[in-house]
Amino acid sequence: MSNLKNEVYSVFNDISNITTTSEKKVIRSLMTDFINCICELYGIDKTIVKKDINNKNEVNNFLVKLGIIKNIEQIHILKDVLGSDFQINISVIYQYVQMDAEIDSNLKKFMDYYREEAVVNYLNDKTSPTVVDFFCGAGGMSLGFHQNDFKILIANDIESVCTTTYSFNHYEIPKDRIITGDIKEIVNNVDTYVNEEVDVIIGGPPCQGFSMANRQRIIDDPRNILYTYYVEGVRKLKPKFFVMENVKGMISVADQVIEDFHNLEDVNYDVYYHVFNARDFGVPQNRERLIYIGIRTDISNSINKKAKDIIKEIENEIKNNCTHVLNDAIQGLRKVNALTIKNSTELDIEECGKKIEANKISEENEYIRTINQGEKSNLVFNHKARYNNDRDIEIYGRMIPGDNSTSERIADIMPYTSRSHMFKDKYYKLKPDEVCKTITAHMKFDCNMYIHPNQARGLTPREAARVQSYPDNYYFLGSYTKTYMQVGNSVPPLMSRKIAKIIKKYLKR
């Protein structure tokens, strides 16, 4: 199809180069996910292994199309890599190939044939507005821009699990443009990564030094080294716009931030900021974030708009939005029970949920249609309940929506009774008819503050992702607890989608 190297688009490493157990484990995990997708989509029972495969060539050709092997001669290597799973996988693929079914969009994310095609289209695209995403996380902020047809030139994060999730879901982007590593290295060598005109830089650099009692300027505070590299990235790439997201507390140094962008060499930006709440963008969550908008001065003059005007447009865009509540986000997701077996969150148990399962939702509300952009995914990902001990399950079951740790309903078994004033939110049962409290990465430790409104368990990663406005087909890879981390640290895609929509109006290619 093209002259692209396999490593630019494939989720599979070349199995002929695999030497370590950990590398084999990655391949087996990806293959297991792919097989589970097929089984859930087409009702194939993988426990029934067919050994009388008549047309092995068809299966082999499909494996090449998938990309797990590059040619038929590598079948013996694949057999060694997959071990006892080999015959199961071959059996499922054989049954699937016999169906001659249309390739589901969720399967295309795994398959080299479609990933390569998407990357070729990406590389040939010379007209879409462009974005660079620093501190990209799992891709929430990028997703909102992608949904407005922006082309992401590069994305960077220090967490490999985040960039793995990002690359899997944004499979149109060449893998060498989704970079795991230190932002310092990226910014210092940004010219080697970006050779196109940059329309927008986005990102949310972590900052620590907010105290106004500390007279040291934010850019000179060593605790804010990551922020300084965001600023340096803007100086080097000179985008037409930038969007910087941060915690509300950063407002104490907001004027310093504006000054930092005014002091850049060779380029100047008009900058304004506003504290937005995600709920005003239609996200069913109380999530306040400080958003800075910057416009390069020459662009500001040519469009006759200041950053303050863009902020005002965003406010006007969202002022008539419907407010969605927790129930809107979790509607239709099937009931699952808390896992009661320790150290087994990686197991798929019907009663407690699966990483991958068929979407059996018959009706969708306005919110679900909005986050899915009107397209229904045939699969649901990451809808698994976490482990809880018997005491916590009892506490969850006794509480009613709105209860916290001080509730008399749990007073006799509350483990922090003597310090209830300090731990009143140690347990909190969410209210179904209100916006959800802020989803945070703390969920990777426990979900005691995010108890399901009518089931004795915490929210699943999928439910949390729904609250964050991720579409149902967005699959979070990595260990179970890290799925919560990725979701909790995200910018809600629905929020960034509406910001991107406004900015795009003023970009001409």
Residues designated catalytic: 207
**Count of CB atoms within 10 A of residue 86's CB?**
16
d(CA 219, CA 207): 10
d(CA 228, CA 235): 11
d(CA 33, CA 478): 12
**Count of CB atoms within 10 A of residue 84's CB?**
7
Radius of gyration, CA atoms only, the chain: 24
d(CA 30, CA 15): 13
d(CA 402, CA 381): 28
Please report where in the chains the tokens 């084999």 appear, as a residue.
24
Q: List the structure tokens of 190.
A: 């940004």
d(CA 35, CA 75): 17
**Count of CB atoms within 10 A of residue 69's CB?**
21
- Render the burial of 399-421: b for 16+ CB within 10 Å, e for the rest: bebebbbbbeebeeebeeeeeee
Instruction: Give strand pairing partners of 272.
Output: 293
Q: Is the separation of the CB atoms in 198 and 238 below 8 Å?
A: yes
CB half-sphere exposure, 156, CA atoms < 13 A: 24
Beta strands in 248-386 (DSSP E): 269-277, 288-296, 353-358, 379-384
Q: Is the separation of the CB atoms in 179 and 154 below 8 Å?
A: yes
d(CA 121, CA 145): 18
